[in-house]
Copies of this chain bind each other. A is one copy, B any other.
């Protein structure tokens, strides 16, 4: 096994491969080649093999990969062979959608708490979750062993929520607010910006088109 730095793009693709493998497995497919994976997710076969090579040898030359095994390996690499408890801050529209999204549970994520500071929302049910006040956060972090926080509050509140998460020992943050947050180096943080991709589309439709690039 290599001890090289793994590019983040490789991890991203690994997540995508694993979801493709899940689908193959559900459809009863037992063997798959790098070419078929590549075709299925829209990358090159060499890329698929290169990505997997960071973590070991999982295939059989002349044959391909065993779907069930490769799926298990990729999930393991991504850390999805164990359950992860999440805390979501902000029980607004996006928070609601995230809480009810079944796709997370399937991949070993479990929403262990939803928090909001709006008194009219606290106590309301989202599925079988109850929206909690902020002061319940510390105890729920402990009791549910939460390591990852999700920020779905307005931009104006995002930094203070991030600070609260850090103060309570969370190790990673997924931020949906379109703002760069300040957190200590040891905190893993990633932003999901729903507008940026939309603006890549308008850029391509406009500027790039005008330049004939």
Q: How many protomers of this protein does the assembly include? A: 2
Which B residues touch A206, using CB under 8 A? Answer: 78-79, 82
Chain B CB within 8 A of A3 CB: yes
Count the A residues whose beta carbon is within 8 Å of the partner chain — how many?
A: 63
Complex formed: what's the CA distance from A41 to B193 in Å? 13
Is A93 part of the contact surface with B, judged by Cβ < 8 Å? yes
Give the residues in chain B near A82, CB-CB below 8 Å.
206
Chain A residues engaging chain B, CB cutoff 8 angstroms? 3, 5-6, 8, 11-12, 14-16, 19-20, 23, 40-42, 77-80, 82, 84, 93-94, 96-98, 100-101, 103-104, 107, 109, 147-148, 171-174, 178-180, 188, 190-208, 211, 213
**The 3 A-B residue pairs with the shortest CB-CB distance in the complex, in nearest-first order:** A79-B206, A79-B202, A93-B97
